[in-house]
Structure 1
Amino acid sequence: MARTSGRHRAVAVPTRSRRRGLVVGAAAVVVAAAALSSWAATAPAGPDGAAVAVAETAARPTLLEQARADREFRSADPSTSTAAPVPPAIELPGGGRSFFPDRRVVALYGKPGVDGLGVLGQQDLPSTIARVQATAAEYQAVSDRPILPTLDIIATVADTSPGEDGDYSRATSVDDLRPWVQAAADAGVYVVLDLQPGRSTFLEQARAYEELLRLPNVGLGLDPEWRVGPGQVPGYTRGTVGAAEVNEVQGWLAGLVQEGRLPQKLLVVHQFVDSMIADKMLIHADRPEIAVLFQMDAQGPTITKGLAWKDVLQDAPAGTAFGWMNFVTLDEPMLNPADTLAQQPRPDMVSIQ
């Protein structure tokens, strides 16, 4: 069905609510400045007593401590050591170095400080950490895998105005995101930085967040709906991305993993119609450094979402994972954890917007 708004002409967007992902002008970002050291890395228990699988910092070094120790190890003078040291293994929150099928991701989606872009922005930083852990506990009660609580943060937001750089996308600074990434690491929570690049490219925008992507608890999300070409404006034209660009991002991201001897990184590619990803079957899914996941982010009645789910599964290369997005106010109704995980195949990731 076509949707219209006071600002935009009708665009055929049959199942998606992400028009709410479009903002006009610079989005205000409110970043909590609370002391991150007050956050423990323990997780709440689910309704049946099952604990959420998060890192226990009392039992093992924090993720940032692991990364720091690894850098120190690689920079050490070998002539001062009488025995070959064993480098520390940097792990994901909750332990281990790979994503699927060892775990299931449950994420809150949105932009810090912006209520209208998803549930992540509806409360301050400490409350967001508590909320994602509580949500993860609800899913853990009905999950056959350990749950990894995750913050899916919109790092760049598509815009109808070009901005100073002309790319029709507003970026959140690394400085503003750093407290969120740090708090997540301290609490055993993963982070996905989501990109809506406008007329820029995914790789160009990803490079701006290299400092954060070199951390073991940070992955990347690509939202092709907001990736438009020259002469096109986000919101007036639904964007698309080709396999070559996705693979280019993968190659760069894999390089960061190799250089830092990091655990596997999650790469989320959003989709709700076939046209959003060209040559989908050519996307690489065999890089050990990257877990590629296609995220179904349609909204509306359950039957409509089910049809979009089938579209997302179609033409996916072997070895990819799949995610399902629930919309709190726009699904009819929003599925509960048990019904969400009853989808076939069972989603490897669930996001709540």
Structure 2
Amino acid sequence: MLSRLLPTFAQANIRLPFILCATTILASSCMQEREAQQTVQAAVPAQQATPPAPDTLAKAKTKQDTATIAITPATDTSWVYPGPKPLPGAILPGKRILAFYGNPLSKRMGILGELPEDKMLQKLDEEVAHWQAADPTIPVQPALHAIVVTAQGKPGRGNKYRLRMTNRMIDEVLEMAKKRDAIVFLDVQVGQSTLQEELPELVKYLQLPNVHLGIDAEFSMKNGGVPGRRIGTFDAEDINYATGLLANLVTEHKLPPKLLIVHRFTQGMIRNTQNIKLDPRYQVVMHMDGWGGPALKKDTYRRYIKNEPVQFTGFKLFYKNDTKNGHRLMTPEEVLALTPKPLYIQYQ
């Protein structure tokens, strides 16, 4: 049973919320965001985290040294995505991905583990139908996005502040996905480890044609520290390592292009985006991962995703955190009104 495999270390999987300044949308003078009270989504209680300092780094438009292609009229004629022409078998931009995120061992880390399998898959079906109705011009591809390396509040074995899930857990996610012809994302929170240490452990799965990768900069503690006490960061070098590994697997095993989901909700989480390399063997999705009210989520998407899209874009919806303090969950129609229209949608 999955319950026998529950993590034994304190889990610090924290998604820091935004505080919406009263004039954030109306006046350019209120362009800083503050992180306030935090919600712990964990299998076991985690340490209380300390809010980080406001993000004050200037934003910069990403410029890619690659050719650009206009995505198909059925998707979004108002936006030109950077990058090489997609190879046969590429998922984007021909489909919109709808993913359920979490860890099947925890009811507190996302919808993937919150509900029993049958109910979770039924709810996934319902969301797919909602998005298909909202935009019938592009097929919706269901997905399960599982956290397979979780950031921890204590050092744990190896003093890396991260816990690797077992192959058995990953195998069970793959079995769930088969029931809906869903693709699978394996998500990595490195803590004080690195992508260079963690990703080779997942090659067995990443070489499968239906398995893709997600990396979460929030819990990448490059300069030490406890995950969740401050927001971590990835540099373009880290992302290029991940995409290089995926590209090699595509070439070696003659696979369709791989997807890389990069979580982001502040400027400083991803450094030197202009140096992120693009290649037809993989597709990069810069994913807006912040929670809060609709106005703030839209503004964050504009500032940190639209202004530095890298290639394709994503948007996360939190069933619980987005609806705190009297706020409501954004509808598919509202998300589709964004520019560019996100092609990767994630529910937690």
- How does the TM-score come out when normalised to structure 1? 0.72
Q: In the alignment, does 2:112 pair up with 1:112?
A: no
Q: 1:314 aligns with which of 307, 312, 323?
A: 307
- 1:122 deviation in Å? 1.4
- 1:229 deviation in Å? 2.1
- Which residue in the other structure is 2:148 paired with? 155
Tell me if the contact between 1:185 and 1:217 (Cα under 8 Å) persists in the aligned partners.
no
| CA offsets 1:50-75 (integer angstroms, 9 cap, x no match) | xxxxxxxxxxxxxxxxxxxxxxxxxx
- Which residue in the other structure is 1:352 paired with? 347
- 1:141 deviation in Å? 0.8
Report the CA distance shift for 1:17/1:137 in structure 2 as closer, same or farther (over 3 A): farther
Q: In the alignment, does 2:284 pair up with 1:292?
A: yes
In percent, how many aligned pairs have the same letter?
Answer: 29
- 1:113 deviation in Å? 3.0
Tell me if the contact between 2:94 and 2:138 (Cα under 8 Å) persists in the aligned partners.
yes
- How does the TM-score come out when normalised to structure 2? 0.73
| Letter paired with 2:97 | V
| CA offsets 1:117-150 (integer angstroms, 9 cap, x no match) | 1111112334333322221111111123100001
- 1:22 deviation in Å? 5.5
Distance 2:234 2:169 in 1: 28
Tell me if the contact between 1:23 and 1:158 (Cα under 8 Å) persists in the aligned partners.
no
Query: Larger C-alpha radius of gyration, 1 or 2?
Result: 1
| Letter paired with 2:281 | E
Q: In the alignment, does 2:330 pair up with 1:335?
A: yes
- Which residue in the other structure is 2:171 paired with? 178
> Is there any run of 5+ residues in structure 2 with no aligned partner, and where?
1-11, 19-33, 47-87
Distance 1:204 1:102 in 2: 33
Report the CA distance shift for 1:173/1:135 in structure 2 as closer, same or farther (over 3 A): same
Q: 1:259 aligns with which of 252, 258, 276?
A: 252
- Which residue in the other structure is 2:75 paired with? none
Q: RMSD between aligned alpha carbons?
A: 2.2
Distance 1:155 1:230 in 2: 23
Q: In the alignment, does 2:206 pair up with 1:213?
A: yes
Tell me if the contact between 1:24 and 1:160 (Cα under 8 Å) persists in the aligned partners.
no
- Which residue in the other structure is 2:159 paired with? 166
- Figure out how many residues of one structure are paired with residues of the other and give that number: 272
Tell me if the contact between 2:148 and 2:164 (Cα under 8 Å) persists in the aligned partners.
yes
- Which residue in the other structure is 1:64 paired with? none
- 1:185 deviation in Å? 3.2
> Is there any run of 5+ residues in structure 1 with no aligned partner, and where?
1-6, 27-95
Distance 1:149 1:176 in 2: 19
Tell me if the contact between 1:222 and 1:270 (Cα under 8 Å) persists in the aligned partners.
yes
- Which residue in the other structure is 1:326 paired with? 317
| Letter paired with 1:213 | L
Q: 1:280 aligns with which of 260, 266, 273?
A: 273
| Letter paired with 2:317 | N
Tell me if the contact between 2:190 and 2:220 (Cα under 8 Å) persists in the aligned partners.
yes
Report the CA distance shift for 1:16/1:119 in structure 2 as closer, same or farther (over 3 A): farther
| Letter paired with 1:112 | P
- 1:272 deviation in Å? 0.3
Q: In the alignment, does 2:226 pair up with 1:233?
A: yes
- 1:302 deviation in Å? 1.1
Distance 1:17 1:264 in 2: 39
Aligned residue runs from structure 1 range 51-90, under 5 A: none
Distance 1:16 1:290 in 2: 36
Tell me if the contact between 1:149 and 1:190 (Cα under 8 Å) persists in the aligned partners.
yes
Tell me if the contact between 1:184 and 1:191 (Cα under 8 Å) persists in the aligned partners.
yes
Tell me if the contact between 2:17 and 2:35 (Cα under 8 Å) persists in the aligned partners.
no
Report the CA distance shift for 1:189/1:314 in structure 2 as closer, same or farther (over 3 A): same
Match of 2:40, SS state, is helix
- Which residue in the other structure is 2:134 paired with? 142
